Amino acid sequence: MNEKKQMDDREAGAERRFAEELLTIRRERSTVLPVKAEVARFGDTLMRILFPHFSDEVYYSAGELEGELRLLKRDLCKVLSPLEAAMPRSIDETALRFFEAMPSIHGQLWLDAQAIYAGDPASESVDEVISAYPGFFAIAIYRISHVFYCLKVPIFPRILAEMAHQRTGIDIHPGATIGKSFFIDHGTGIVIGETTVIGEGVKLYQGVTLGALSVSKTLSASKRHPTIEDNVVIYSNATILGGETVIGHDSVIGGNVWLTEGVPPYSIVYHKSEIKVRAKMDADVSDFVI
């Protein structure tokens, strides 16, 4: 009996010590980290305000929308409060600059939606694109998070970007620079790195990686990801790597291509696969591929 009590006391003591250690860490980190659920709520609320396609609310006056924007600004200031010491501007100034950028964000997103509609024969309307296309949602959250990245807000834009990544399978770093009329078709598995530069009218299919040749931490401040010039189409599962790799404008990069060097404008790059066709069945040979 005494042995069991000793074991219980030992277990309780270990749990208490670990709980106290966890509490200390939580108190320290809670002062420098935003609440992830609140960041996601901000992104969702902003999308509902910008596009009725994401909302179940009907607004009948500009005053109602203005009130929603003011509430959203208040919520943004609250979410950013743990990060203020690490921000180059005050929370109020940061929020003001973001809301000043919102008309531009909204305009760019309509251009993105129109580019998707124009480029996809399966789409029946711009409204369908906004409502149902994961590529549009990923681009929208990217354009929102990119503004915060440019304002040098830490952590917050990455959490926003990861929200879109989890929902769509499309991973766009908020530091990437992406021009107007961007088109992501299907999109699952796309990865766009931090220093990627993408021009206007670019179209990407699923599985495309715009990545770095090296993952060395010492190169974090350098341009590590490729530049994609205007009107380039990159088909599924192509991989383009390196900060000095430039894909010239109006080029077409085929599926499964692996590139670590740039190509000039109007290039067509494709992966040549070998196809063997057997003329007739050979009873003595069985070809099974699992």
Contact 144, 43 (CB under 8 A): yes
Residues in Cβ contact with 149 at an 8 Å cutoff, skipping those fewer than 6 apart: 157, 174, 175
Tell me, yes or no, whether 199 and 154 share the same domain: no
Residue 45 lies in a domain: yes
- Tokens 């369908």 found at: 128
Strand partners, 191: 171, 209
Q: In terms of domains, do 62 and 145 share one?
A: yes
Task: Note whether 163 and 36 are same-domain residues.
Answer: yes
Domain assignment of residue 195, yes or no: yes
Which region among 30-44, 62-76, 200-214, 255-269 has the lowest average model confidence (pLDDT)? 30-44
Considering the domain architecture, whether residues 153 and 225 belong to the same structural domain is answered as no
- Between 67 and 272, the more confident residue is 67
pLDDT tens column, 200-249: 999 999 999 999 997 777 777 799 999 999 999 999 999 999 999 999 99
Q: Structural domain tally of the chain?
A: 2
Mean confidence (pLDDT) of the chain: 91
Residue-level pLDDT at 8: 67
Do 36 and 121 belong together in one domain? yes
Rounded average pLDDT over 176-196:
97
Domain final residue pick, 169, 184, 214: 169
Residues 160 and 247: their CA atoms lie apart, in Å, by 29
Q: What are phi and psi of 74, to 5 degrees?
A: -60, -45
Same domain membership, residue 165 and residue 74: yes
Does residue 290 fall inside a structural domain? no
Answer yes or no: is 120 within a domain.
yes
Tokens of 290: 């699992």
Domain shared by 184 and 236, yes or no: yes
Domain extent, residue 242, equals: 176-272
Angle of helix 134-150 relative to helix 91-119, nearest 10 degrees?
Answer: 150
Pair 165, 210 in one domain: no
Q: Are residues 163 and 235 in the same domain?
A: no
Q: At 258, phi and psi to the nearest 5?
A: -120, 115
DSSP per-residue codes, the chain: -HHHHHHHHHHHHHHHHHHHHHHHHHHHHHTT---HHHHHHHHHHHHHHH-GGG-S----SHHHHHHHHHHHHHHHHHHHGGGGGGSSS-HHHHHHHHHHHHHHHHHHHHHHHHHHHHH-TT---HHHHHHH-HHHHHHHHHHHHHHHHHTT--SHHHHHHHHHHHHHS-EE-TT-EE-SS-EESS-TT-EE-TT-EE-TT-EE-TT-EEE-S---GGGTTS--S-EE-TT-EE-TT-EEE-TT-EE-TT-EE-TT-EESS-B-TT-EE-PPPP----SS--TT------
Higher-pLDDT residue of 228, 9:
228
What is the share, in percent, of the chain residues with pLDDT greater than 70?
92
Q: Would 154 be classed as within a structural domain?
A: yes
Give the pLDDT band of residue 289 (cuts 50, 70, 90): very low
Domain boundary pick from 120, 137, 169: 169
Domain annotation covers residue 280: no
pLDDT in tens, 102-161: 999 999 999 999 999 999 999 999 999 999 999 999 999 999 999 999 999 999 999 999
Residue 98: what pLDDT?
98
Of residues 85 and 3, the one with the higher pLDDT is 85
**Mean pLDDT (whole number) for 182-203:** 97
Which CATH number goes with the domain that contains 145?
Answer: 1.10.3130.10
Would you say residue 31 has pLDDT above 80? Answer: no
Residue 1 forms part of a structural domain? no
Answer yes or no: do 226 and 241 share one domain.
yes
Residue 117: other Cβ atoms inside 10 A: 19
- Domain co-membership, 73 together with 94: yes
In a domain, 21, yes or no: no
Question: What's the pLDDT at 286?
Answer: 44
pLDDT in tens, 250-265: 999 999 999 999 999 9
pLDDT at 285: 46
- CA 180 vs CA 44, 108, 115, 128, 216: distances in Å: 23, 6, 9, 20, 31
At residue 2 the predicted structure's pLDDT band, cuts being 50, 70 and 90, is confident
Contacts of 245 (CB under 8 A, 6+ apart): 226, 227, 259, 260, 261, 262
User: Which one of 154, 169, 184 terminates a domain?
Assistant: 169
Return the pLDDT at 287.
42
Q: How far apart, in Å, are the Cα atoms of 164 and each of 36, 140, 142?
A: 13, 9, 8
Q: Are residues 40 and 88 in the same domain?
A: yes
